[in-house]
Copies of this chain bind each other. A is one copy, B any other.
Amino acid sequence: MAERKYALGIDYGTESARAVLVDVASGKEVASAVYEYSHGVITDRLPGTKTRLPAHDWALQDPQDYLRALDATVPAVLKKAKVKGRQVIGIGTDFTACTMLPVQADGTPLCALKEFRANPNAWVKLWKHHAAQPEADLINQTARQLDEAWPTRYGGRISSEWFFPKALQILDEAPEVYRAADRLIEAADWIIWQLTGRETRNLCTAGYKAIWSKRDGFPRREFFAALSPDFADVVDAKMSRQVIALGSRAGELTEKMAKRLGLAPGTAVAAGNVDAHVAVPACTVTGPGKMVMIMGTSICHMVCGTEEKHVPGQCGVVEDGILPGLYGFEAGQSAVGDIFAWFARTCVPAEYAAEAKKKKVSVHDLLTRKAAAYRPGQTGLVALDWWNGNRSVLVDADLTGLMLGMHLGTRPEEMYRALIEATAFGTYKIIRTFEQHGVAVDEIYCCGGLPERNDLLMQIYSDVTGREFKIARSAQTCALGSAMHAAVAAGRAAGGYDTIHEAAQRMAGIRAKTYKPDAAAHAVYEKIYAEYDALHDTFGRGANDVMKRLKALKGVE
């Protein structure tokens, strides 16, 4: 009997990294290990220094944590599963994005150098670093002035989280760091460089975060020059125009890294990727019209189509960006689980906390049980799910939450239910907008923490949208997706697969239990959705800009 073959998937998240060892033939996840980053998300003081970050919207990381994660998890999963290094045919990774850093020509992060250690702009800017808003504003404004074509692919404007705002912030605030940086690179690609000894740039982050497209490449030099003369050559001087496809082999594991991790030198390493996007095939989805939703603190919606379309609020459409041969569309809701967490932390009375403790369930479980006793419409409440702005159809970070319908008898679980419903309406709005703009959404697949934990929520989403919700079999979909890409990078000859479609067929699965819409519930929710939609437009499209005016007033002394 031939030795079993395994693929290693490593999912770099916000607070930790997770390695999962997957049986290539069956998709069985045989072992996993998690490493919490020693410096986590740096929002206050730079580690090992006295330097405090300039403002509260900064979010940095230490690149050494990404290497420590490899050390801590890879040998551990091999040991747990009693798998030999040579049985691992490929390594795949996925990363938060845009999470980027300035490095030297050999890949050394500038923040590792003594002279730059105390400079915040030398560190990794994590995806949720929001301090590059002035640069994002300049980029969007300049794009409008110069009538650039690319904004239509990104819902009209790009976010401060993206690559060029972050790069431009380095130039603006720390020109010495910018000058010293031989390369500016996504952490997703930097980790591949560390594994393979070779710099590559993956299509997914380039397309979704760095305004690259297969057809047009990056924005033109004149555009960058208009932002700042010193920024004109950012692509050619600090990046690369060579972008490699997803699932392709970025290179092979170096001798040194192989030894360090207990793997075989020459093991295939897949191109870097984004956490959300690798989850798509891990939900069995390899064709158009099937939306994958990663449901957690926020929701990321991804769907592939056969044509490029420009949908209001889409985060991006990227050819080959999710699956080869298809246009990958991404949209999102900026807060979902985060809103429920806010509610549980802020609005749940002591007696509920005591009851949850007594029943040995979480406060969320207790609220869910109580909320499940209500029929659709019975609470009389409706909410706008904009606790963290709106990055869906409206793409407006200055919008805020709203709840309406409260009376003296309103109970916490009713408000909790209204918040769940509001996030479901937000998803429904996204689906309808895609459809209205020619992107089919025929099926829905879910993964992430929420579907695991909350039956009521899943049923409400199904009832609101009038669609069946299928759930990924794996509870670690991103890491599985990375392992699948690893199997493709290794290829059939090495015991893997030639295409992500084959890998999905063999390695991915969905659960037997799905959530099907109740027609009567859907009919009621259509009525409440009409109310949500009207409020959405009143407060989101300028009829009443009260949210922005109140936000502006907050700053008034």
Chain B residue nearest to A404 in the complex (CB): B402
A113 at the interface (CB under 8 A from B): no
Residues of B within 8 A of A407 (CB): 387-388, 400-401
Other-chain contact of A554, B377, B388, B403, B534 (Cβ < 8 Å): B377
Question: Is A492 located at the chain interface by the 8 A CB criterion?
Answer: no
User: Which of A148-156, A276-284, A345-353 contacts the other chain?
Assistant: A345-353
A380 pairs with B346, CB closer than 8 A: no
Chain B residues contacting A2 (CB-CB under 8 Å) are none
A179 at the interface (CB under 8 A from B): no
Residues in B with CB closer than 8 Å to A410 are 342, 346, 387, 401
Question: Is A274's CB within 8 Å of the partner chain B?
Answer: no
The answer on a CB contact under 8 Å between B531 and A549 is: yes
**Chain B residues whose CB sits within 8 angstroms of the CB of A378 once the complex forms:** 554
Residue-wise, chain A 527-550 has the 8 Å CB interface mask toward B (1 for contact) of: 110010011001100001011011
Q: In the complex this chain forms, how many copies of it are found?
A: 2
Take A346-B349, A348-B350 as given contacts and tell me if A547 and B408 are in contact as well, using a CB distance cutoff of 8 Å. Answer: no
Interface string of A331-353 (1 = CB under 8 A from B): 00001001100100111111011
Shortest CB distance A366–B (Å): 12
Q: Does A553 contact B (CB under 8 A)?
A: yes
Q: Are B544 and A528 in contact (CB under 8 A)?
A: no
Residues of B within 8 A of A551 (CB): 380, 405
- Least CB distance from A531 to B in Å reads 5
A88 and B544 CA atoms in complex are apart in Å by 62
Residues of B within 8 A of A556 (CB): 377, 524
> Cβ of B349 and Cβ of A345 under 8 Å apart?
yes
Residue pair B405, A346 in contact (C-beta under 8 Å): no
Q: Are A346 and B412 in contact (CB under 8 A)?
A: yes
Measured CA separation A339–B335 after assembly (Å): 28
Chain B positions within 8 Å of A557 at CB level: 375
Interface size on A, residues (CB 8 A): 52
Partner of A405, one of B342, B345, B381, B547: B547
Least Cβ–Cβ distance between A398 and chain B, in angstroms: 10
Indicate whether A432 reaches chain B with its CB closer than 8 angstroms: no
A387 with B408: CB separation less than 8 A:
yes
Which residues of B are found within 8 Å of A534, using beta-carbon distances?
544, 546
Given known contacts A380-B400, A528-B553, A531-B550, A347 and B350 CB-to-CB distance under 8 angstroms: no
CB of A180 closer than 8 Å to a CB of B:
no
Question: CA A534 – CA B412 in complex, angstroms?
Answer: 28
Does the CB pair A377–B335 fall under 8 Å? no
When distances are taken between beta carbons in the complex, the residues of chain B under 8 Å from A350 are: 348-350, 352-354
**Which residue of the partner chain B has the closest CB to A557?**
B375
Find out whether the CB atom of A404 lies under 8 angstroms from the CB atom of B400. yes
Please tell me if A382 contacts chain B, counting CB pairs below 8 Å: yes
Interface residue A406 (Cβ < 8 Å from any Cβ of B): yes
Query: A144 near B: Cβ within 8 Å?
Result: no
Known: A402-B404, A406-B387. A411 touches B531 (CB 8 A): no
A531 to B342 alpha-carbon distance, docked (Å): 25
Known: A538-B544, A554-B377. Is A353-B349 also a contact (CB below 8 A)? yes
Nearest-neighbor residue (CB-CB) of A403 within chain B: B403
Question: CB < 8 Å: which of B348, B387, B388, B539 contacts A349?
Answer: B348
- Judge whether B403 and A338 touch: CB under 8 Å: no
Q: Which of A377-424 contact B (CB under 8 A)?
A: 377-382, 387-388, 400-408, 410-412
Question: CB within 8 A of A401: which of B348, B404, B531, B549?
Answer: B404
**The one of B342, B354, B411, B546 that contacts A535, using a Cβ cutoff of 8 Å:** B546
Q: Which residue from chain B places its CB closest to the CB of A335 in the assembled complex? A: B408
Residues of A at the B interface (CB closer than 8 Å) are 335, 338-339, 342, 345-350, 352-354, 375, 377-382, 387-388, 400-408, 410-412, 524, 527-528, 531, 534-535, 538-539, 544, 546-547, 549-551, 553-554, 556-557
7 A-B residue pairings within 8 Å (CB atoms): A342-B408, A346-B412, A347-B349, A350-B354, A380-B553, A380-B554, A400-B406
> Closest 3 CB pairs between A and B?
A401-B406, A350-B353, A377-B553
* 17 extra interface residue pairs, beta carbon distance < 8 Å, beyond A349-B350, A524-B556: A342-B408, A346-B349, A349-B349, A350-B352, A350-B353, A388-B407, A388-B408, A401-B410, A404-B539, A404-B546, A404-B547, A405-B550, A528-B553, A531-B546, A531-B549, A535-B544, A535-B546
